[in-house]
Amino acid sequence: MAKELEGFNFEQRHGKARVRVGRVWRSKDGCRHFMVEWNVNISLLSNCVAAYVRDDNSDIVATDTMKNTVYVKAKECSEQLSAEEFAILLGKHFTSFYPQVFTAIVKIVEKPWERISVNGQPHEHGFKLGSEKHTTEAIVQKSGVLQLTSGVEGLSLLKTTQSGFEGFIRDKYTALPETRERMLATEVTASWRFSDISSVKLKMPNIHFLPVNISSKDHGSIVKFDDDVYLPTDEPHGSIEASLSRFWSKM
Amino acid sequence: MAKELEGFNFEQRHGKARVRVGRVWRSKDGCRHFMVEWNVNISLLSNCVAAYVRDDNSDIVATDTMKNTVYVKAKECSEQLSAEEFAILLGKHFTSFYPQVFTAIVKIVEKPWERISVNGQPHEHGFKLGSEKHTTEAIVQKSGVLQLTSGVEGLSLLKTTQSGFEGFIRDKYTALPETRERMLATEVTASWRFSDISSVKLKMPNIHFLPVNISSKDHGSIVKFDDDVYLPTDEPHGSIEASLSRFWSKM
Amino acid sequence: MAKELEGFNFEQRHGKARVRVGRVWRSKDGCRHFMVEWNVNISLLSNCVAAYVRDDNSDIVATDTMKNTVYVKAKECSEQLSAEEFAILLGKHFTSFYPQVFTAIVKIVEKPWERISVNGQPHEHGFKLGSEKHTTEAIVQKSGVLQLTSGVEGLSLLKTTQSGFEGFIRDKYTALPETRERMLATEVTASWRFSDISSVKLKMPNIHFLPVNISSKDHGSIVKFDDDVYLPTDEPHGSIEASLSRFWSKM
Amino acid sequence: MAKELEGFNFEQRHGKARVRVGRVWRSKDGCRHFMVEWNVNISLLSNCVAAYVRDDNSDIVATDTMKNTVYVKAKECSEQLSAEEFAILLGKHFTSFYPQVFTAIVKIVEKPWERISVNGQPHEHGFKLGSEKHTTEAIVQKSGVLQLTSGVEGLSLLKTTQSGFEGFIRDKYTALPETRERMLATEVTASWRFSDISSVKLKMPNIHFLPVNISSKDHGSIVKFDDDVYLPTDEPHGSIEASLSRFWSKM
């Protein structure tokens, strides 16, 4: 990944981002359809210093070629497969097909298309967009070593009670009252890594629902609020990130 | 709504946009929670030329006051109510409480918080964000005349077959082949109006899933594509808007 | 625009949105380049009830054809022209070329690419993206009647003093203190209409910079704030819309 | 940053994101105003396992307290300072004021408010929003060790000529023709690191302006395009990331 240039390290990667592909598979009788929509992001790490130093592109995989490869490989997958399997398949292709490429990083975000039900029956070919997205990342080395991560993003959750926050540090910058009862909301981004090592990573911002309290010097509050009216707000938000891993890991 | 100034018409409205409010109601035993999150947009039409011409704000309802009113009225609603009912309640308040206000336009977008199920049972106080949003607009006149619209936005739908497009005008600007089989996707924005008159309005952009066809002058296509690999794209998109109404209506 | 169906009015329009086109023109010696990037939105009003009622598309202009037309017409413009001129040119084309089309609505948003200066000299072919965008809309009737609007969007302005807000209505919902000194910020959307009639329309939301005031029951505020520290916020915001027109106009 | 739990590593950080602060300074005579708007993101690494394991918050700095600190410290800065200086000041405060905090990561994005000129003269207190944003990140250790990064984001650049792409790998997935002349556009995200070590990091996606080529099997292209009409598109885009550093660095 690195090439020393007169006492400097030079690192680079190039790729194609936001390659969107839809793939439809049909049951044998052609009636029942299965479909996925993937947003694919490819980064290749390769020996291509010549392109930077000598204006020589002979070791460069054009990003347009990477895009085409996504479509060709999607076509070749005659059986339905998971985003994880497709990411690995692409990663293995790039590292084995091109001598110059030593690492391929393939990320996929899957749009949550869900089969529609009509009168309690699943529809043959109708789909509706759901909410949270499934994500995956495959890092494939030329040696065949593989690091696979799966995850979810955009999962918004909320509970209206049974959350408190007490006993925290109080100092001259502290204005927040302690509470045994508050609204708790978050948008989960989570990922978990497979292989010999395994780890879990969580990002759960604290999306605040502030209890509303109106005061007027002129007329006083008209209504005494007791925490059933809230101001939901996106910014600022609390941020909490944590990871748990065997032996070693980086956050 | 209009005031003639030396041969000109002057029209103005002012209000508060993006007022977000969360409201929780509890069952009598306090165990079961019901909640809504609304994004409220208020516009008031009033006689307030003095503010523009003589720098006299004595007829102006401060937009901060409008915001507070949302919270106070939400608090006063001790029973759960719909977004439509809350929009009407606010509109009636502004047009009756302030002599200067002759029309109030209140729009509400409701966030799709859905009760979570755990082991097949609805959870008491846990919610998850869904996808499409419920919308409403109440236009309330001082006379009491009311125009109410309900709708939905962000409803993404797709079908993988049984859509065609044939027999359209062909001329020198036409490159699109005719097809009896294509993917059809859209994001529905719909609204329907109540009262003595009724109308329905639909906005259904045609979100294209383009069949992928790769050709290379050097090597030719490797794979013959037959419409099961698609390029989904947000732009450009086809736009279709239609309205159906009794007697008269404006689009 | 309307077709009566058994006591109902039916109105529809269809078109192509988000058609992006870049156009480069060169000086006679080929050295100096001029370029624009336009995002074009076309809506056509036409007699095409047959498509809805009898599944007959013979009166339909395919939206793909509209998109191609943008590129062909951009190509045909061998001399640099304004977004207004291009919108009119497209509108006249659609209403004259297609017997079925009685009205064309063409909106263009121009991206603010600005020529770069190097060492005080304008660069021949280098551009940098600026901030606010130029907009235009041409509504062209088959009769040739034209209504043209020009405007600007995304122009964010701010002044740190010499704005006040006093003397407004105070009631039990009012908490806002009066002030003779406040920060004022807005994002201007403006448009002006040409022809025998003329009008101006302004949309200037009040983007709040709230003076910060921290209080803690435990320790009291450490710092007395006097309005030089602000909390900028996007929501909620005040909304102000106004239009001024000769004789008649709609907001 | 890490705490071993029965053979696992546990890493966590918490903080407050999207804390927006505006700060105004005045010249001695009060006439000339200087202002900044910063979006501050704070992450603290601290010993607070007790909060996770024993529900004991006594080592927790509330994220609301972090937010207040931003405002108090902004107030205390009576002289105008840079985003870099403010990030360091905050980082040093958190690591020195709280025994539990061993590392503070403070990121600031500065909104590009630019002084307005009226009749060629700089205005005293009027500002207009520009385009690209200045960014900074200070990582401060309790030991006092500091790592400072400055950067820019959102700088969109384009040149209409003198870019080519030739001689790249051609294989069966390659459809892109070679070219000696193309439009080149990008949105630069760059950062550079200070201290004993120094490095530069660049992220320059290739935002494609595709030459338009229309072909119709029915009528053939009407216009022969020769690369002065382009389709600008945001997705997919090429991605290029590179870093250059003395001795060692991570991308």
pLDDT confidence of residue B216:
53
Q: Among A175, A218, A219, whose Cβ lies nearest the Cβ of C215? A: A175
| Options D3, D63, D92, D237, the catalytic residue | D63
Better-scored residue on pLDDT, A251 or A158? A158
D182 is in an annotated binding site: yes
The listed range with the strongest mean pLDDT (A198-212, B39-53, B235-249, C140-154) is: C140-154
Q: Tell me: domain A1-144, CATH 3.10.270.10, correct?
A: yes
Active-site entry in A33, A63, A92, A203: A63
Between CA D167 and CA D161 the distance in angstroms is: 18
Q: Is the peptide bond before A236 cis (omega within 30 degrees of 0)?
A: yes
Query: How many A/C residue pairs have CB atoms within 8 Å?
Result: 32
Q: Is C220 left (phi over 0), alpha (psi -120 to 50) or beta?
A: left
**Which pLDDT does position C79 carry in this prediction?**
95
Contacts of C95 (CB under 8 A, 6+ apart): C101, C102, C103, C104, C140, C141, C142
- Residues A33-74 have pLDDT tens digits of 999 999 999 999 998 777 777 778 888 999 999 999 999 999
**pLDDT of D70:** 94
Q: Which of A150-164, C84-98, D22-36 has the highest mean pLDDT?
A: C84-98
B158 touches A: beta carbon within 8 Å:
yes
Residues of B in contact with D219 (CB under 8 A): 170-172, 174
Q: One-letter amino acid identity for A215? A: S
**Closest C-alpha to B128, from B118, B116, B110, B111:** B116
User: Among residues A69, A65, C35, which one has the least CA distance to residue D165?
Assistant: A65
Answer whether C233's CB lies under 8 Å from B5's CB.
no
A: neighbours with 3+ CB pairs under 8 Å? B, C, D
| Nearest chain D CA: its distance from C156 CA (Å) | 5
Q: In the prediction, which pLDDT does C234 show?
A: 85
In this complex, do D219 and B172 lie within 8 Å of one another by their Cβ atoms? yes
* Mean pLDDT for all residues in chain D: 86
Cα-Cα-Cα-Cα dihedral sign, residues D226, D230, D231, D236 = positive
Of D71, D89, B43, A233, nearest to C210 (Cα)? Answer: D71
The per-residue pLDDT for C5 is 57
Q: Tell me the sheet residues that pair with B155.
A: B188
Give the DSSP per-residue string, C119-157.
TTEEEEEEEEE-SSEEEEEEEEETTS-EEEEEEEEEEEE
CB C184 within 8 A of CB C210: no
Calculate the alpha carbon distances from C229 to C216, D24, D181 in Å.
18, 7, 51
Is there a contact between C65 and B174 if contact means CB atoms under 8 Å apart? yes
Distances (CA, A) of D13 to A193, D6, D43: 19, 20, 6
Q: How far apart are CA D217 and CA D209, in angstroms?
A: 25
Q: Two tokens at D28?
A: 């001695």
- Least CB–CB distance from B216: residue in D174, D216, D218: D174
Active site residue A134: no
CB A113 within 8 A of CB A128: yes
> Which pLDDT score is estimated for D94?
97
Gap between the Cα atoms of D159 and D178, Å rounded: 18
In this prediction, residues D55-79 reach a mean pLDDT of 91
Instruction: Point out the catalytic residue in the list C3, C14, C33, C63.
Output: C63
Tens-place pLDDT, residues A82-133: 999 999 999 999 999 999 999 999 999 999 999 999 999 999 999 999 999 9
The three-class DSSP label of residue A162 is coil
Neighbours of D6 (CB within 10 A): 5
Q: How many contacts (CB atoms, under 8 Å) link A and B?
A: 137
A50–chain C nearest CA distance, Å = 26
The H or E element containing residue D239 is strand D237-246
**Nearest alpha-carbon partner for D8 in D45, D75, D53:** D53
Backbone angles phi, psi at A178, to 5 degrees: -75, 150
Look-up of token digits 């870093």: D243
pLDDT at D224: 56
Q: What is the mean pLDDT of residues D76-98?
A: 96
B208 an active-site residue?
yes
Q: What ipTM, to 2 d.p.?
A: 0.87
Average per-residue pLDDT for chain A:
86
pLDDT in tens, D128-155: 999 999 999 999 999 999 999 999 999 9
Q: Which residues pair with D108 in a beta bridge?
A: D40, D136
pLDDT value for D218: 47
Judge whether A44 and A13 are in contact, CB under 8 Å: yes
Local structure of B11: helix, strand or coil: strand
> Over the stretch C196-234, which tens digit does the pLDDT of each residue have?
857 888 888 888 888 887 765 444 444 556 678 888 888
What's the rounded Cα separation, in Å, for the pair C67 and B107? Answer: 34
- What per-residue confidence (pLDDT) applies to B196? 86
* Per-domain residue ranges of chain B: 1-144, 155-251
C186 noted as active-site residue: no
Scan for tokens 């955009």, then name that residue. Answer: A154
Pick the closest to residue C237 from C201, C191, C203 (CA basis). C203
Residues B98, B38, C210, D61: what is their CA dihedral angle, to the nearest 10 degrees?
Answer: 150
How high is the mean pLDDT in each 10-residue block of chain B (251 residues)?
Answer: 59 90 92 94 87 83 93 93 97 96 97 95 96 96 95 93 89 88 89 79 84 61 66 85 67 35
B11 interfacial to chain C (CB closer than 8 Å): yes
Q: Does the pTM exceed 0.80?
A: yes
Is D206 flagged in the annotation as binding? Answer: yes
Q: Give the per-residue pLDDT at D247.
A: 55
What residues in C contact A175, CB-CB < 8 Å?
A: 214-217
Q: Report pLDDT digits (tens) over C26-72.
A: 999 989 999 999 999 999 999 877 777 777 888 899 999 999 999 99
Average pLDDT over residues D194-207: 80
Does residue A176 sit in helix, strand or coil?
coil
Interface list for D 172-191 with C (CB within 8 A)? 183
B182 annotated as a binding-site residue: yes
Q: How many CB atoms lie within 10 A of CB A50?
A: 14
> What is residue A178's three-state secondary structure?
coil
Q: Contact at 8 Å (CB) between B154 and B133?
A: yes
pLDDT at site A5:
57
Confidence at residue B1, expressed as pLDDT on a 0 to 100 scale: 36
Q: Name the residue type at position A165.
A: F
Which chain A positions have a beta carbon within 8 Å of C233's beta carbon?
235
Residue C198 is predicted with a pLDDT of 77
Q: Is the pLDDT of residue D216 over 90?
A: no
- What is the arithmetic mean of pLDDT over A142-152? 94
Partners of A23 in beta bridges: A36, B229
Higher pLDDT, A143 or A218: A143
CA separation for the pair C210, A218 (Å, rounded): 20
Q: Tell whether D216 is within 8 A of chain B (Cβ).
A: yes
Rounded to the nearest angstrom, the minimum Cα separation between C175 and chain A is 4
Report the C-alpha gap between A111 and B209 in whole angstroms: 14
